[in-house]
Amino acid sequence: MAYRFLSSRIVPSSNRLSRRFIFIFTISLCFMYLCYSIIFCSGTIMPNQRLEDHRCVHLKNMGSKKLLQKSHYCTISAKARVISDETRAVGLLNLTGNQSKHSAFQKTQDVVDHKQSNNSNSPKYGNKKLPNALIVGVKKGGTRAVLEFIRIHPDVRALGTEPHFFDRNYDKGLDWYRGLMPRTLDSQITMEKTPSYFVTREAPRRISNMSRETKLIVVVRNPVTRAISDYTQTLSKKPDIPSFEELAFKNRSQGIVDTSWNAIRIGMYILHLENWLQYFRLSQIHFVSGERLITDPAGELGRVQDFLGLKRIITDKHFYFNRTKGFPCLKKPESSSQPRCLGKSKGRTHVQIDQEVIEQLREFYRPFNVKFYEMVGHDFRWD
């Protein structure tokens, strides 16, 4: 039609050359229009992600902040990417076993969190929750080992650092505290450990105000050995402090122990426990033996898993005994080329203390230990 119309009105019928030119021109024009329609219409039906990303970046580089915020492509595509990542993550969790499920979740969580950091309106994967369980003590009892061992369980997510919320940072509020926690699925337990909570007078009341159902883990150890380990750690940081004997006794010849020294006072477990029992039931507190944690880590972790209501996944196969350090380490994970042992600050060689001093301290702690055994219903055999 276009050909006949143009040929009949623009050129005479006898001019074949002009008619051929017009025919070619008309065909070219139609072909260009067809290509234009295919390219731009297909972009509306099936948007090209890379083109949209480029468009958003280009707008940012131009400084078009308001235009970028209103752009349908820049807002929707970012959300779509995060949702896609989450979908892949959930699929991966469903396909893997218990151990791989945890590592898969952590890896995909890192990816999703990174993508979300550039879009505050994008959906979050998992939630930051206040802890269900706390390792509250005691210092130099083995709390770091318990934390590192239990966090390999796929249903546990734990904060690696000590937040000291209930003793030093309580004025910052629960929202600040919650913000420190790792993201967890609904089926997972959130944990943190701060050993100084056990000897902080206000900690039980503050934790109870957060939740009266919080589960508490206390790692205890022979109080004499614990005090020597505590002193050894302090000495490594402050070489000029007085000797252990000078700090431990007010009058050594009379056997008068200085209970104001924190290294001594921490080991008087029964005194601290009585404070906790004003706010929590004894059934909410689980006591881990620091000695058995070394000789039978799988057994102690099995009881911790039972207390937390978890399936016993951490077993003997996860541990080996490191003779150099003198305590158990985790075997090499699938995702690492190295086994996981506690740091250099753990397993230090203790300062040599006169045996007579040790015996005097054993006598001092004996009545406190007996009351503690009776209260918790377990003999830790420290005497």
- Binding-site residue numbers are 140-144, 221, 229, 346-350
Torsion of CA 128, 129, 130, 136, to 10 degrees: -80
Active site residue 317: no
Catalytic hit among 60, 124, 139, 140: 140
| CA dist., res. 12 & res. 9, Å (int) | 8
354 C-beta neighbours (distance < 10 Å), count: 12
The residue among 279, 287, 282 whose CA lies nearest residue 201 is 279
| CA dist., res. 179 & res. 272, Å (int) | 29
| CA dist., res. 74 & res. 52, Å (int) | 7
Query: Euclidean distance between the first and final Cα of the chain, in Å?
Result: 110
List, as residue ranges, the binding site for 3'-phosphoadenylyl sulfate.
140-144, 221, 229, 346-350
Contact 149, 119 (CB under 8 A): no
Give me 262's structure tokens: 């924190």
Contact 89, 104 (CB under 8 A): yes
379 C-beta neighbours (distance < 10 Å), count: 12
| CA dist., res. 77 & res. 58, Å (int) | 15
Contact 183, 254 (CB under 8 A): no
Phi, psi of 119 (to 5 degrees): -145, 100
| CA dist., res. 336 & res. 107, Å (int) | 13
For residue 360, the cross-strand partners are none
The phi-psi region of residue 126 (left if phi > 0; otherwise alpha if psi is between -120 and 50; otherwise beta) is left
The residue among 168, 171, 187, 170 whose CA lies nearest residue 129 is 187
Give me 293's structure tokens: 């944690």
21 C-beta neighbours (distance < 10 Å), count: 12
Active site residues: 140
